[in-house]
């Protein structure tokens, strides 16, 4: 509902279009701007003049980031629109949530857990006599130990995945998620307690956070806050029981490696090299877990 005092106040009209009433202010200069003159920024919107000033004052690293990650000079806020919906993020959310909710059903949940969870003995049947089921290295990423565990991990996937998928593209984002999850399980096999089975997407999520950290630093973004959050989460896992810090460490390291590959092979002409490098990472992880005996084998066999 408009009032006479608002209608007569020229401050409530766009400074570039005096005939358009608006109550939105530029977050930099506080001038009134209409919908056409608004450009999404990190916080709120800014006017065309402030946008021009921001582009002019960008560091060389930030200018390179626009070319490298396809923002077309319009900033990260436009990347999601151009890339479409984060289909992979939503699909991973749907699949993992469905499995997690099924695991809350007493009998069904126990059976699913026995099928999907990972433990080191499944990789070394000659030592422990378990069946050889190496696919558990990856299936454990989609299983969780309870509703809180599931909810927290899915919240993190939803918050981080949407932006990261828009930056990387669907195929690269899916590769990052799965390879990081695999890296977390491999680290559990190498230095974890073989008698304690593990489930959860934490390795994949730490890989995603590592990617945001590496790519953000590469394009000149301020990653201090992310670094603090990452450090707190990792240290928390070291001192709280029931959390596999080994999976966190593995996902973090592998996620950083995958991100480095993305950065070094970002050009379209190097797409085949990128794919070959990612395949090489997967093969290396499988070779390591197949031929490097876990540190606990001597004491637990």
What is the rounded CA–CA span in Å between residue 39 and residue 47?
A: 6
19-56 burial string, b = 16+ CB within 10 Å, else e?
Answer: eebbebbbebeebbbbeebbbebeeebbbebbbeeeee
Q: Is 299 a catalytic residue?
A: no
The residue annotated as part of the active site, out of 180, 202, 244, 259, is 202
Catalytic residue, chosen from 144, 180, 248, 259, is 248
Is residue 185 annotated as part of the catalytic site, yes or no? no
Q: By CB neighbour count within 10 A (0-12 exposed, 13-18 middle, 19+ buried), where does 130 fall?
A: middle
Sequence-distant contacts of 276-283: CB under 8 A, at least 24 apart: 278/175, 278/179, 281/179, 281/254, 281/257, 282/179, 282/182
Residue 195: half-sphere exposure toward Cβ, Cα within 13 Å: 5
The three-class DSSP label of residue 284 is helix
Distance CA 97, CA 136 (A): 18
Residues taking part in catalysis: 202, 248
């Amino acid at each position: 509902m408009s009032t006479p005092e608002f209608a007569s106040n020229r401050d409530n009209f766009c400074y570039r279009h005096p005939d358009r009433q608006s109550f939105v202010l530029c977050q930099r200069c506080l001038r009134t701007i209409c919908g056409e003159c608004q450009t999404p920024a990190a916080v709120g919107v800014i006017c065309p003049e402030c946008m021009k000033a921001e582009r002019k004052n960008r560091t060389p690293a930030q200018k390179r980031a626009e070319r490298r990650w396809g923002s077309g000079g319009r900033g990260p806020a436009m990347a999601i629109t151009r890339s479409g919906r984060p289909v992979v993020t939503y699909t991973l959310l749907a699949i993992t949530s469905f499995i997690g909710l099924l695991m809350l059903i007493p009998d069904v949940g126990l059976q699913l857990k026995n099928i999907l969870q990972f433990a080191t003995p499944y990789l070394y049947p000659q030592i422990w006599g378990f069946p050889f089921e190496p696919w558990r290295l990856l299936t454990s990423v989609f299983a969780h130990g309870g509703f809180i565990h599931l909810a927290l991990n899915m919240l993190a996937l939803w918050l981080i995945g949407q932006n990261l998928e828009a930056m990387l593209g669907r195929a690269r984002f899916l590769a990052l998620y799965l390879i990081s999850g695999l890296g977390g399980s491999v680290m559990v096999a190498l230095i974890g307690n073989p008698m304690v089975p593990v489930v959860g997407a934490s390795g994949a999520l730490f890989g995603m956070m590592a990617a945001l950290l590496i790519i953000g630093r590469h394009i000149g973004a301020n990653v201090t806050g992310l670094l603090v959050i990452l450090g707190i989460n990792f240290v928390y896992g070291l001192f709280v029981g029931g959390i596999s810090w080994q999976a966190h460490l593995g996902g973090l390291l592998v996620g950083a490696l995958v991100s480095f590959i993305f950065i070094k092979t970002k050009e379209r002409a190097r797409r085949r090299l990128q794919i070959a490098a990612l395949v090489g990472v997967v093969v290396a992880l499988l070779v390591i877990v197949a031929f490097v005996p876990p540190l606990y084998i001597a004491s637990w066999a």
